[in-house]
Amino acid sequence: MDWGSILAETVNKFFGVQAAYFALAAIGLNIHFGYTGLLNFGHAGFMAIGAYGLAISLQNGVPLLLAVLIGLLAATAFALLLGAPTLRLRADYLAIVTIAAAEIARILFRATEIAGFNTREYTGGSTGINGFADPFKDLNPYTGSVDLWFVSFSRNDAWTVTVGWALVLLSVLFVHLAMRSPWGRVLKAVREDEDAARALGKNAYSIKMQSLVLGGLFGALGGMIFVLGQSSVQPTPQDLGAPKTFFIWVAVILGGTGKLWGPVIGSMIFSALLQFTDLTLRGFQEEGIIPTWFMDGVQVGQVRFILMGLGLMLLMAFRPQGIFGDKRELALDVR
């Protein structure tokens, strides 16, 4: 078993495309849940809307930046649609509506026809859209693969990773500026106790809506980097469905909710761990340490998720505040 290459590939994932787009989406979810207390269980819906908005626009010859803008506007509309009926109600209503809406969005993208209108022409139906990313790839300044002493990326990945992490850093700066402001204070106040905020003259509905839109925009950006990286957008659950939402949640919780760098570090560690467990299990199996009657090659892919789940339970038991969280803070009774 080649521990050297396992380690190298793990480190690669730590900085790879997946970590970057997870981080962007997780920054958005952290604005929702970590700072505002909004229960968004349909974050993949924002990612999907952003991704499809971008892909469909590019496919139809819209310039890249405008296509990004269209994706962001679509995500804004999605947030307003979800927020308007639910944000005046108890917190759990948003949770239910986001789960459902994200799934509805994905199924609509997969549909061939909606109300007699041939949507497949635009969305590609169940095969999705492929090869739309050329306007992005054409901007790639790298001439070949990139090898630094700790990571190496293909020419394509190097470009996506560069743009992805640049966006992550800008987003972190943005969140830092926003959360230290009085605006951020109102957001956190609403998280702690909405009625107390209202009693002090703060418009809780409006601030929750702002948070929903803003976090949704980062989700959409994450979705865009994801599909640009693989130059393909697919309406599958793995890519843009509930499992993706769950992964983003794991990344946020792992890093520590309501912390500036939490979602970023959480995403990096989560991506790296997924890779590490996969490679290690495969290695064990090839060496015969894990006999095939116990687990075959296909099952390895599933077992690593079992292990991740187990790891998450241990985290909750021994470090429920996540990596950056403050245990003291978590111990406070909220309200």
- Shortest distance, CB of residue 183 to another protein, whole angstroms? 4
Which DSSP symbol is given to 129? E
User: Cα separation of 159 and 29, whole Å?
Assistant: 25
Burial 145-175 (b: 16+ CB within 10 A, else e): ebeeeebebeebbbbbbbbbbebbeebbeeb
Q: Is 185 in the site for another protein (CB under 8 A)?
A: yes
Among 181, 238, 292, 302, binds another protein (CB under 8 A): 181
Instruction: Rank residues 38 and 189 by Cβ distance to another protein and give the closer one.
Output: 189
Buried b (16+ CB within 10 A) or exposed e, 261-287: bbbbbbbbbbbbbbbbbbbbbbbebee
Structure tokens at 280: 């290690």
The torsion of the CA quartet 320, 321, 327, 333, rounded to 10 degrees, works out to -80
Tell me whether residue 188 or residue 319 sits nearer to another protein (CB atom).
Answer: 188
184 binds another protein (CB under 8 A): yes
Select the residue interacting with another protein from 64, 99, 100, 193 (CB under 8 A). 193
In 26-59, which positions are buried (b, 16+ CB within 10 angstroms) versus exposed (e)?
bbbbbbbbbbbbbbbbbbbbbbbbbbbbbbbbbb
Q: Does 91 bind another protein (CB under 8 A)?
A: no
Helix (H) or strand (E) holding 89: none
Q: Judged by CB, which is closer to another protein: 161, or 190?
A: 190
For another protein, the closer CB: 67 or 168: 168
Cα→Cα distances 54→42, 44, 66, 253, 321, Å? 19, 15, 9, 29, 36
Binding flag, residue 183, another protein (CB under 8 A): yes
- 3/183 with CB nearer another protein: 183
Size of the site for another protein (CB under 8 A): 35
Main-chain dihedrals φ then ψ at residue 297, nearest 5 degrees: -55, -40
- Identify which of residues 2 and 192 has a Cβ nearer to another protein in the complex: 192
Task: Please list every residue from 257 through 286 that binds another protein, using CB under 8 A.
Answer: 258
Smallest gap from residue 245 Cβ to another protein (A): 25
Residue of the chain from 141, 144, 148, 328 that contacts another protein (CB under 8 A)? 328
Of these, 120, 137, 202, 282, which contacts another protein (CB under 8 A)?
202
Give me the residues that bind another protein (CB under 8 A), please: 174, 177-178, 180-186, 188-189, 191-193, 195-205, 210, 214, 258, 328-329, 332-335
